[in-house]
């Protein structure tokens, strides 16, 4: 029976600012909190009064890592409001961009943010000595993922050429071919990273807590661009009824909202997608999952990083397939003109960290009058809190430093994008 006093201000190796507070006196837990302290961002208020063709550019700035995801959700919401169905070419290009982002975000997270914990070091710098070739491989993969987004989206971050109903500039077919060849080599590189993670896998804590998992689901493929909302508890639900799923609410310890559905909390992200869609992965991605001991349904939040690595393999393979399809059909300039009308549209995509929804209402001139964004990480905050509450009693007798590391690794496993999640607070003074 001992005392534990942990006050981690601004957990390192996560995006944004969050604190972990643990207070244990004589073996009794007095406090165990995941506090989100990031400043609110006000994007939903910012887009009111803006024209339909500005929204994707504005909302992509919600995040620098998931800017493609926000752009896609935004474009889909606007297109849904105006009754537009983009062409097959546009959808293929958008999927390449989404997969590029998925790969980019995941490899950055696994390679630079999680690997140091598994290797028992404080940051990526010591890995230069102990795992030089693997680190160079991660850097090479990171660069490829940046280039995929650059060539298709016109920019590494905040895609500029993806717009409503098409692309302002089509990628150069030669550049796409080069990306495809580099993607083929990347599959070998990813095996190197997977082998490294496997060799360090005993450092992944064996923690389990049953929870609800929510992600998009599609009949055609492992869903990241399109699908209906699916829950491991309650089955599927159309995207238009998302509010029945997310049920956002405010808690005092967080500047980001929490969500709950069938239980007190739910999880979104790569692990949720894997649990709901694993049978649609490619054979190679399934093999990597099997090699790394990832089996559905997995209730270990720490395995989210492993699911991300599996998705890297899938996303790279999808880039190869989609580039082949685009080049075989031939890239052609398309008429992007649209007509605007009053209406409401909801766009849902599954971005690296989980299900993302943009919900816009327009007036007859195509000006946005109302917006709501449901962010993956704010859907996860409640689950992080519940995980911590379940984990702490099982490790309470360990030395304080070990408890601290386990809790930090738990938060990191979710790969939270905290700045994304603190987007709007409505305060009612009573």
Partner 1 sequence: MGVGNILLKDEGIGVHIARELEKLSLPEGAKVFDGGTGGLSLIDLMKETPRVIFLDAVEMGKKPGAVMRFTLPEVKMATDKIKFSLHQVGLPEVLLLASLLGVSPEVVIFGIQPKDLGWGTGLSPELKKAVPEIVKSVLKEVYKHF
Residues contributing to the site for partner 1 (CB under 8 A): 12-13, 15, 108, 112-113, 123-125, 128-129, 132, 135-136, 139-140, 142-143, 146, 156
CB of 15 to partner 1, least distance (A): 8
Q: Which is nearer to partner 1, 239 or 418 (CB)?
A: 418
CB of 204 to partner 1, least distance (A): 21
From the number of C-beta atoms within 10 Å of its C-beta (0-12, 13-18, 19+), residue 39 rates as exposed
Q: Which residue has the tokens 């290009």?
A: 93
Q: Which is nearer to partner 1, 19 or 361 (CB)?
A: 19
Q: What is the DSSP string of 382-427?
A: HHHHHHHHHHHHHHTTS-HHHHHHHHHHHHHHT--BHHHH------
Whether the Cβ atoms of residue 373 and residue 42 lie closer than 8 Å to each other? no
CB of 131 to partner 1, least distance (A): 10
Mapped onto helix, strand or coil, the DSSP state of residue 231 is strand
Integer Cα distance of 55 and 34 in angstroms = 32
Q: Between vectors from CA 216 to CA 111 and to CA 170, what angle results, nearest 5°?
A: 70
β-strands 266-267, 212-217 pairing: parallel
Q: Between vectors from CA 279 to CA 89 and to CA 410, what angle results, nearest 5°?
A: 100
CB of 146 to partner 1, least distance (A): 5
Integer Cα distance of 212 and 206 in angstroms = 19
Residue 4 β-bridge partners: 24
Whether the Cβ atoms of residue 216 and residue 381 lie closer than 8 Å to each other? no
Mapped onto helix, strand or coil, the DSSP state of residue 86 is coil
Q: Which is nearer to partner 1, 182 or 217 (CB)?
A: 182
Strand residue runs (E) in 155-219: 162-163, 166-167, 212-217
Q: What is the DSSP string of 235-258?
A: EEE-GGGTHHHH--B--TTBSS-B
Integer Cα distance of 250 and 79 in angstroms = 30
CB of 157 to partner 1, least distance (A): 8
CB of 288 to partner 1, least distance (A): 23
Q: Which is nearer to partner 1, 118 or 135 (CB)?
A: 135
Q: Which is nearer to partner 1, 156 or 308 (CB)?
A: 156
Tokens of 300: 């270990």
Q: Which is nearer to partner 1, 156 or 372 (CB)?
A: 156
Tokens of 415: 């790969």
Whether the Cβ atoms of residue 258 and residue 382 lie closer than 8 Å to each other? yes
Mapped onto helix, strand or coil, the DSSP state of residue 274 is helix
Residue 371 β-bridge partners: 360
CB of 140 to partner 1, least distance (A): 5
Q: Which is nearer to partner 1, 109 or 386 (CB)?
A: 109
CB of 38 to partner 1, least distance (A): 13
Q: Which is nearer to partner 1, 19 or 363 (CB)?
A: 19
Q: Which is nearer to partner 1, 135 or 403 (CB)?
A: 135
Phi, psi dihedrals of residue 367, rounded to the nearest 5°: -95, 135
Cα distances from 202 to residues 160, 198, 220, 289, in angstroms, run 42, 8, 35, 16
End-to-end CA distance of the chain: 44
Q: Which is nearer to partner 1, 126 or 343 (CB)?
A: 126
CB of 242 to partner 1, least distance (A): 30
CB of 122 to partner 1, least distance (A): 9
Q: Which is nearer to partner 1, 104 or 232 (CB)?
A: 104
CB of 203 to partner 1, least distance (A): 20
């Amino acid at each position: 029976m001992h005392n534990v006093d942990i006050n981690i201000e601004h957990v390192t190796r996560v995006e944004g600012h969050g604190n972990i507070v643990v207070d244990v006196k004589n073996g009794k837990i007095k406090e165990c909190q995941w506090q989100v302290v990031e400043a609110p961002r006000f994007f939903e208020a910012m887009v009111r009064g803006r024209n339909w063709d500005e929204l994707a550019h504005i909302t992509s700035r919600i995040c620098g890592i998931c800017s493609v995801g926000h752009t896609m959700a935004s474009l889909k919401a606007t297109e849904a409001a105006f009754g537009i169905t983009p062409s097959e070419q546009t959808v293929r290009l958008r999927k390449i961009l989404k997969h590029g982002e998925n790969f980019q975000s995941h490899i950055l997270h696994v390679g630079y943010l999680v690997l140091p914990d598994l290797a028992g070091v404080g940051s990526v710098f010591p890995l230069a000595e102990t795992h030089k070739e693997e680190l160079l491989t991660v850097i090479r993969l990171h660069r490829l993922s940046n280039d995929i987004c650059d060539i298709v989206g016109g920019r590494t971050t905040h895609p500029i050429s993806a717009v409503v109903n098409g692309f302002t500039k089509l990628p150069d077919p030669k550049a796409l071919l080069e990306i495809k060849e580099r993607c083929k080599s990347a599959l070998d590189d990813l095996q190197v990273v997977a082998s490294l993670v496997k060799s360090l896998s005993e450092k992944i804590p064996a923690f389990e807590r049953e929870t609800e998992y929510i992600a998009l689901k599609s009949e055609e493929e492992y869903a990241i661009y399109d699908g209906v909302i699916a829950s491991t508890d309650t089955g599927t639900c159309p995207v238009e009824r998302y509010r029945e799923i997310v049920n956002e609410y405010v808690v005092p310890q967080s500047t980001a909202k929490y969500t709950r559905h069938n239980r007190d909390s739910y999880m979104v992200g790569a692990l949720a997608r894997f649990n709901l869609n694993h049978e649609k992965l490619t054979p190679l991605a399934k093999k990597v999952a099997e090699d790394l001991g990832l089996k559905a349904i997995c209730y270990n939040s720490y395995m989210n990083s492993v699911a991300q690595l599996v998705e890297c393999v899938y996303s790279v393979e999808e880039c190869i397939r989609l580039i082949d399809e685009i080049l075989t059909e031939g890239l052609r300039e398309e008429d992007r003109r649209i007509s605007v009308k009053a209406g409401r549209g909801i766009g849902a995509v599954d971005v690296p960290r989980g299900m993302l929804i943009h919900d816009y209402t327009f007036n007859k001139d195509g000006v946005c009058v109302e917006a709501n964004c449901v962010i993956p990480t704010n859907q996860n905050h409640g689950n992080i809190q519940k995980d911590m509450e379940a984990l702490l009693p099982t490790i309470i007798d360990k030395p304080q430093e070990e408890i601290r590391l386990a809790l930090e690794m738990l938060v990191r496993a979710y790969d939270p994008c905290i700045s994304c999640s603190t987007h709007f607070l409505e305060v009612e003074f009573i």
